[in-house]
Amino acid sequence: MLTGLAIRNVVLIEALDLSFGRGLGVLTGETGAGKSILLDSLGLVLGDRADGGLIRAGADEASVTATFEFAQLPAALGAALAEAEISVETGEPLIIRRRLRAEAGNAVGSRAFVNDQPVSVALLRELARSLVELHGQHDDRGLVNARGHRALLDRYARAEASDVAAAWERWRAAETALTAARDRLAAAAAEQDLLVAHLAELALLAPEVGEEDELAGQRAAMQKGERLSGDLAELQHLWTGSDSALASLRSASRRLDRIAHEHPLLTEALEALDRAVIEASEAEDKLGRAAEALSHDPMLLDRIETRLFDLRAAGRKHGCTVDELPARMIEMRAALDRIEGGEAAIADLDRAAQDAGLDYRAKAESLSVARAEAARRLDAAVAAELAPLKLDAARFRTAVVRQPEDRWGPHGVDAAEFLISTNPGADFAPLAKIASGGELSRFILALKVALAEEGGAATVIFDEIDRGVGGAVASAIGERLARLAEGGQLLAVTHSPQVAARGTAHYLIAKSSEGTVTRTSVRQLDGAGRQEEIARMLSGAEITPEARAQAERLLEQA
């Protein structure tokens, strides 16, 4: 609820600090005293448009700070704050500040803060729905806004709308899965012939992982052998045959072996020659093996090059490397398997979607029945409140209308709106289209009383709900306002002494002038001050003893 309001340099208010509590707080004062300034100031922290005319003459800037406190943070308010990454601990106040600054020309700068964190004005408007419900001459929030009527009716009906929302989500998810599966199957079926052709082509090619590198190595070796074939042939000719160098070494070794015992040096020479023969024999062996390894078969080389070309062409065709071709074949087989088994899977998904749809419809129909029954009870409850509020000729109706299927949603299959007719024979129309602001406020009061605790903001404000009425009607309004304020907070700007006498707190708004400076002030009245103010409201400019006595009786009756 609203516990504090600090106003600086707004119109006629230079500096004002107000504290509010639970129950019914009434604000009174003479016409033109500045009651609208308080509401305009509160409107700033609730996200109303910045207006340079609100800055007090002679001041550069104006500011309004509102403090709200909660035993438990409302769920919608907590969600909005969490989304804005603003943390409010249990028991911690929520402080909203709005600052206006006059700029060049007629421009006005505006900044907003929630618990000292800069925020957008749009966030203030979102928070306002959970903070303050204002009903006045130009009410376009709270109960007047048809967008909230369905949720209010559901709470009044004690209906589990969340079950319908959960069923809707399951149905949408099932339909989405079915549509996606059908799209995938249609796309795959359109490519089925191409998949079969590609898979047959790759199966005939039979690519293997690592095959490209192996073939490339073989081709490189053959190409090198082709290039070295002349040298190798000449070396082999020099190294083999009876007149080759190796044959000469062996012949020399045999001859030296016959005379090596004749001298130690000959023995050493034989040993060196034997080593040369061994090394030369190894060279001969390696030359032979090299010639064999580097031998090239033109026909084999052509087959290798053709295979490499086919493999690489297939890789380019399927957008992958040659080594990835076997995996691509597996993917193609899986896609064909999905096509073959796709119809069965779609049948299962279709059954699941139909079951989810039936479940949603059943829950939505049950909710519709609960709404229709609650609408009848609410209509009767509001009708019982109209006569005491001098709305005898008026009629109230809760319209629950089934929507076309394309407008069904987590809320169910109905639209709901509160309608009224203020004159006999007149058509029912939305609350917002009532011409008389006083009638609208009293209708809202009747609806609030009927709904009791079924939702609304933490703080409710009625602006001159008693305009144009008096006597028994004003007493009825005061009694209902007091009843609504029990256990909560309700503020009423009033001209009615019967309403003012019902307040648990009474604030007097007054205007004073000093020379050319006019100021508006607000102070909370004590018991004697309340009696005097209510007497003024009863008698006018001159307060009579009779008015004071009547004021005392009103306070005692309250």
Q: Check: CB of residue 180 under 8 Å from CB of residue 342.
A: no
Nearest-angstrom CA–CA distance, 372 and 347? 37
Give the helix/strand (H/E) hosting 97: strand 94-102
Three-state SS at 412: strand
CA 78 to mean position of chain CA atoms: 14
Domain, as residue range, for 198: 193-336
Q: What integer is the mean pLDDT of 404-411?
A: 94
Does 285 fall in a domain? yes
Six-digit token string for 469: 């009425």
Residue 217 lies in a domain: yes
Calculate mean pLDDT across residues 539-547: 82
With bands split at pLDDT 50, 70 and 90, how would you rate the model's confidence at 406? very high
Percent of the chain with pLDDT over 70: 91
Ranking 194-203, 230-239, 310-319, 397-406 by mean pLDDT, the lowest is 230-239
Tell me which of 136-145, 280-289, 505-514 is least confident.
Answer: 136-145
Tokens coding 506: 């009474």
pLDDT of residue 122: 92
pLDDT at residue 27, as a whole number: 92
Would the pLDDT of 452 be above 60? yes
Q: What is the mean pLDDT of residues 283-294?
A: 71
Region 291-295 average pLDDT: 65
Instruction: State the pLDDT confidence band at 193, using cuts at 50, 70 and 90.
Output: confident
More confident of the two residues 447 and 325: 325
Domain assignment of residue 515, yes or no: no
Using CA atoms, how far residue 116 sits from 4, 113, 142, 272, in Å, is: 16, 5, 27, 100
Global pTM reads 0.63
Average the pLDDT over 143-156 and give the result: 84
Q: Is 187 helix (H, G, I), strand (E, B) or coil?
A: helix
Which stretch of 1-10, 143-152, 430-439 has the lowest confidence by average pLDDT?
430-439
Mean pLDDT value across residues 221-226: 70
Predicted local distance difference test score (pLDDT) of residue 105: 67
Checking if the pLDDT of 239 tops 70, the result is no
Give 140's pLDDT tier (boundaries 50, 70, 90). very low
Domain assignment present for residue 487? The answer is: no
Q: How confident is the model at residue 397 (pLDDT cuts 50, 70, 90)?
A: very high
**Residue 238 reports pLDDT greater than 80:** no
Q: Quote the pLDDT of residue 189.
A: 74
Q: Is residue 501 part of a domain?
A: no
Output 541 or 365, whichever has higher pLDDT: 365
What is the chain's mean pLDDT, rounded?
85
Q: How many CB atoms lie within 10 A of CB 115?
A: 15
User: What pLDDT is attached to residue 367?
Assistant: 95
* In-domain check, residue 362: no
Residue 309 or 141, more confident: 309
Q: Which two tokens stand for residue 200?
A: 């047959």
**For range 528-532, the mean pLDDT:** 92
How does residue 142 score in pLDDT terms, banded at 50, 70 and 90? low
Contact 131, 124 (CB under 8 A): no
Residue 274 within a domain: yes
Work out the average pLDDT over 365-389: 92
Range from 33-47, 135-149, 375-389 carrying the lowest mean pLDDT? 135-149
Query: Model confidence over 342-362: pLDDT tens digits?
Result: 777 888 899 999 999 999 999
- Beta-carbon contacts of residue 152 (< 8 Å; ≥ 6 apart): 143, 451, 454, 455
Q: Tell whether the model's pLDDT for residue 327 goes beyond 60.
A: yes
Is a pLDDT exceeding 70 seen at residue 266? yes
Average pLDDT rounded to a whole number, residues 299-306: 86
What does the pLDDT read at residue 123?
93
User: Total domain count for the chain?
Assistant: 1
> Rounded CA gap, 452 and 456, in Å?
10
- State the Cα–Cα distance between residues 251 and 238, nearest whole angstrom: 16
Contact 499, 19 (CB under 8 A): no
Of the candidates 274, 235, 285, the one whose C-alpha atom is nearest the C-alpha of residue 252 is 274
Residue 322 lies in a domain: yes
Contacts of 6 (CB under 8 A, 6+ apart): 16, 17, 18, 63, 64, 65, 66
399 pLDDT tier (thresholds 50, 70, 90): very high
Q: How confident is the model at residue 19 (pLDDT cuts 50, 70, 90)?
A: very high
Which range (290-304, 334-348, 509-523) has the least confidence? 290-304
**Confidence at residue 345, expressed as pLDDT on a 0 to 100 scale:** 81
What's the token pair of residue 507? Answer: 């604030």
Place of tokens 């018991």: 527
The pairing of beta strand 395-402 with beta strand 132-135: unpaired
At 27 the three-state DSSP class reads strand
| Range in 12-26, 101-115, 163-177, 443-457 the model is least confident about | 443-457
Mean pLDDT within 32-55: 86
How high is the pLDDT of residue 387? 86
Q: What percent of the chain has pLDDT over 90?
A: 35
Give the pLDDT mean for 73-85. Answer: 87
What is the predicted pLDDT for the residue at 284?
72
